Amino acid sequence: MGIISRFINVVRAYSNSFLDKAEDPEKMLQQMLSDLEGQKRQAKQQMTEALALQKRLERDTEKEHKEAEKWEQKAILAVQNDKDDLAKEALVRKKDHERRAEEFEIQLEKHRANAETLRSGYQAMEDKIEEIKRKKGLLLAKQKQAEAQEKIYQTIEGIGDSSGAIETLERVEEKVDSMQAKAEAYQEISIDSEKESLEKKFKELEDTPPDIETELLELKKRAALPSPEDNNSSSDK
C-alpha cells in the first residue's frame, strides 16, 4: 500500500469514528495528527532509503561504463600489438560491462520514477497535515461555540420548566408585602400616639388652676374694687 493510500485511510478511519461514536473532536483531531505524523516519519524513512538506493545504482552504472571503456582501451592495445585473441577477450569483457550498465540504467530509471512518486506523496502529506493543523483551530473554536450555545439553551429550558423557582419568588413577594404592611401599621400607630400626647399636653394646660393674683384681680373687677396696683399708685402720690 502506498504512502498516499495509507494517509487517506488514516484520515477516513478517524472521520468515520468521529461520526459514528461522536467522540471529543479535540482529542480525535490530536490523535489523528499524531498518527499522520507517524505516517510522515515512515514516508521520510522510505524516501531516505530510496535516495540511498538511487545513489548506489548511479555509482554502479557509472562503474560499469568505466569498466567497459577500460576493456575497450585494452582491446585497442591488443589490436595495435597484433594480439587479436586478446582483443576479442577484451571486447567480450567490454560487452559484459555494457550489458550490466544497461541493466543498472533500467533499474535506475524505474527507481527514479518511484523516488519521485515518494517525494510527491511526501510533499502532499506534509501539505495536508499543515491544512489539518490550520483547520483544527477553526474546528475547535466552532466546537466551543456550539457547546456554549447548548448550555445557554439548556439553561433557558430549565428556567421555563422550573415551577419551584416561580413558587419561591411568589413566597418572597408575599413576605415583602407583609413586611411593608407591618411597617405602614407601625407608622400609623406612631403618628396616633404622638397626636394623643400633644392633645394631652394642651388638656393639662387648660386644666391648670389660675394663679392666685390673677384670681384676686378677677374678684376685684367683679366687685368694682381697686386693684393692689391702683392702691400703691395712690400711696405714692
Backbone phi, psi, residue 130, to 5°: -65, -40
Contact 54, 108 (CB under 8 A): yes
Q: At what angle do helices 25-80 and 3-21 cross, to 10 degrees?
A: 170
Output the pLDDT for position 59. 94
Tell me what the pLDDT averaged over the chain comes to. Answer: 76
Range with lowest mean pLDDT among 39-48, 49-58, 64-73, 80-89: 39-48
What's the CA dihedral at 201, 207, 213, 215 to 10 degrees? 150
27, 23, 47: which is closest to 35 by C-alpha? 27
Choose the most confident range, by mean pLDDT, from 124-128, 132-136, 142-146, 201-205: 124-128
Range with lowest mean pLDDT among 24-33, 60-69, 212-221: 212-221
Q: What value does the mean pLDDT take over residues 148-156?
A: 72
Domain membership of residue 180 (yes or no) is no
Q: Confidence band (pLDDT; 50, 70, 90) for 1?
A: very low
| Residue carrying C-alpha cell 502529506 | 125
Q: What value does the mean pLDDT take over residues 184-196?
A: 66
Domain membership of residue 215 (yes or no) is no
Which stretches of 162-211 are DSSP H helices?
Answer: 163-207
Q: What value does the mean pLDDT take over residues 51-68?
A: 93
User: For residue 11, what is its C-alpha cell?
Assistant: 484520515
Output the pLDDT for position 19. 46
Q: Confidence band (pLDDT; 50, 70, 90) for 161?
A: low
Query: Does 150 have pLDDT greater than 90?
Result: no
**Among residues of the chain, what percentage have pLDDT more than 90?**
24
* Whole-number Å distance between alpha carbons of 46 and 115: 9
Query: Does 86 have pLDDT greater than 90?
Result: yes
> How many helices and strands in the chain, by DSSP H and E?
6, 0
Output the pLDDT for position 203. 66
Domain membership of residue 154 (yes or no) is yes
Domain membership of residue 222 (yes or no) is no
Output the pLDDT for position 15. 52
Domain range for residue 144? 3-161
Query: Does 25 have pLDDT greater than 70?
Result: yes
Contact 44, 77 (CB under 8 A): no
Indicate the number of domains in the chain: 1
Tabulate helix, strand, coil % of the chain (nearest 5). Answer: 90, 0, 10
Domain membership of residue 52 (yes or no) is yes
Query: Does 39 have pLDDT greater than 50?
Result: yes
Domain membership of residue 167 (yes or no) is no
Between CA 199 and CA 208, with CA 204 as vertex, the angle to 5 degrees is 150
Domain membership of residue 17 (yes or no) is yes
Query: Does 160 have pLDDT greater than 70?
Result: no
Domain membership of residue 129 (yes or no) is yes
